[in-house]
Amino acid sequence: CLYTSIYLYSCNHRRNMSSSLLRRKATHSQGWKNQSSVTEFILLGFSRNPRTNWILFFLFLFLYLFTVLGNGLIVTLIRVDARLHTPMYFFLSILSLLDLSYATTTVPQMLIHLVSKSKTISYVGCVVQMYIFLTLGITETWIFAAMAYDRYVAICYPLHYRVKMSQTLCVLLAVSSALCGLTCALVYTVFAMNLPYCGPNEINHFFCEIPTLACADTSLNDQVDFILGFILLLIPLPLILASYVRIFTAILKIGSTQGRIKAFSTCASHITVVTMFCIPCMVMYMRPGSEASPEDDKKLALFYNVISAFLNPIIYSLRNKDVKRAFFKLVGMSAGTQ
């Protein structure tokens, strides 16, 4: 009887374990079905009015074409003119490439959605767009810090500039910035992809930001956003500010007014560009998710994604005699015809 009881208990225990295992598999399978139930997303964009969309189409088309032309021209000038082969213009060429890629990641698709009835993007396409967008944006913040350090060395240690800002150091700073962008964007994307997306599949934006559609608690993702924002904005910004404190201190020690103005003019463009890019990013990515407004997010993203990339070539070329000289040389005009 004892052996019979043990045998029956063992059978019942195995049967219970089997049914529990089957329930777990079913739950896990159902979870994956929920996650994969959304195969595409609908980007709502800016307006549902066709007339407004056509106006926005031509406006953004002009901004994008000028962005491609302006940033492409700066990269070309720096590449072909030997006098621009300096650390400052090396970082400027990287910044122009980032701005060009940054706008190309979102604007062409936005233009298509403005004039077409279909405003969908596949799940994979959405993930890829989000990852590339974040990689470029994060890399750009660290390139700004590298550019600030370059200006610090140029103004505070002019006689040792070529030695301190060697080609090896410039390449190392650029590669480190890119690796930081690739790694941090991967962390954000992995956390976003682990969330279940059960619908609805409408994104109130002009590019992909899918964590807002998750049918689960996103508080952990909000914390990850804040930590990444702290690492990627509140670490580069103090470095930039520290560089400029030293720069302004050195400028004030220059005896002539003309010398101070010339020294400050080399930094004014960088300060303007950093302000236009970093402040909207800080507002957008470091505030709590509960305080986020889709319409405000679209305006902020439009500013640092499209407007900033559009204005950067203008800011860096209008008051830059070296760039203008290289341009006139490229088109076959002498500097005296300016």
Greater confidence (221 vs 335) lies with 221
| Per-residue pLDDT at 162 exceeds 50 | yes
Identify whether the C-beta of residue 79 lies closer than 8 Å to the C-beta of residue 330: no
| Per-residue pLDDT at 18 exceeds 50 | no
CA angle 307, 139, 127 (to 5 degrees): 80
Go through the domains of the chain in sequence order and give each one's CATH number. Answer: 39-326 (1.20.1070.10)
Closest listed residue to residue 176, CA positions, set 103, 279, 91, 75:
91
| Per-residue pLDDT at 57 exceeds 80 | yes
| Per-residue pLDDT at 30 exceeds 60 | no
| Per-residue pLDDT at 10 exceeds 50 | no
Strand partners, 42: 120, 202
Residues 6+ positions from 51 with CB-CB distance below 8 Å = none
Instruction: Quote the pLDDT of residue 146.
Output: 94
Question: CA-CA distance, 104 to 91, in Å (whole number)?
Answer: 20
Average pLDDT score over residue span 225-247: 81
Percent of the chain, pLDDT > 70? 78
Taking only Cα atoms into account, the Rg of the chain, rounded to an integer number of angstroms, comes to 26
Instruction: Quote the pLDDT of residue 288.
Output: 59
Identify whether the C-beta of residue 89 lies closer than 8 Å to the C-beta of residue 146: no
Question: CA-CA distance, 199 to 180, in Å (whole number)?
Answer: 32
Instruction: Quote the pLDDT of residue 20.
Output: 43
User: Which segment of 45-49, 165-169, 284-288 scores lowest on mean pLDDT?
Assistant: 284-288
Whole-model pTM: value is: 0.79
Q: Could you report the per-residue pLDDT of 109-148, keeping only the tens digit for each? A: 999 988 888 888 888 888 899 899 889 988 998 999 999 9
* E strand or H helix at 203: strand 202-203
Residues 6+ positions from 175 with CB-CB distance below 8 Å = none
| Per-residue pLDDT at 210 exceeds 80 | no
| Per-residue pLDDT at 31 exceeds 60 | no
Identify whether the C-beta of residue 133 lies closer than 8 Å to the C-beta of residue 306: no
Most confident of the ranges 120-129, 174-183, 223-232, 244-253: 174-183
Tell me the pLDDT band of 217, cut-offs 50, 70 and 90: low
| Per-residue pLDDT at 222 exceeds 80 | no
Average pLDDT score over residue span 212-240: 73
Q: Could you report the per-residue pLDDT of 254-300, keeping only the tens digit for each? A: 877 887 887 777 788 888 888 887 777 767 666 655 556 667 778 77
Instruction: Quote the pLDDT of residue 287.
Output: 62
User: Which segment of 149-158, 237-246, 257-266 scores lowest on mean pLDDT?
Assistant: 257-266
Most confident of the ranges 22-31, 169-178, 217-226, 309-318: 169-178
Greater confidence (252 vs 219) lies with 252
Q: Name the average pLDDT for the chain.
A: 78
Tell me the pLDDT band of 3, cut-offs 50, 70 and 90: very low
Question: CA-CA distance, 75 to 88, in Å (whole number)?
Answer: 13
Instruction: Quote the pLDDT of residue 21.
Output: 38
Q: What is the DSSP letter of 291?
A: G
Average pLDDT score over residue span 34-61: 81
User: Which segment of 287-291, 309-313, 324-328 scores lowest on mean pLDDT?
Assistant: 287-291
Strand partners, 203: 43
Strand segments, DSSP code E, in 229-306 are: none
Instruction: Quote the pLDDT of residue 47.
Output: 79
Can you tell me which residue has the tokens 């370059």? 150
Identify whether the C-beta of residue 132 lies closer than 8 Å to the C-beta of residue 118: no
Percent of the chain, pLDDT > 90? 23
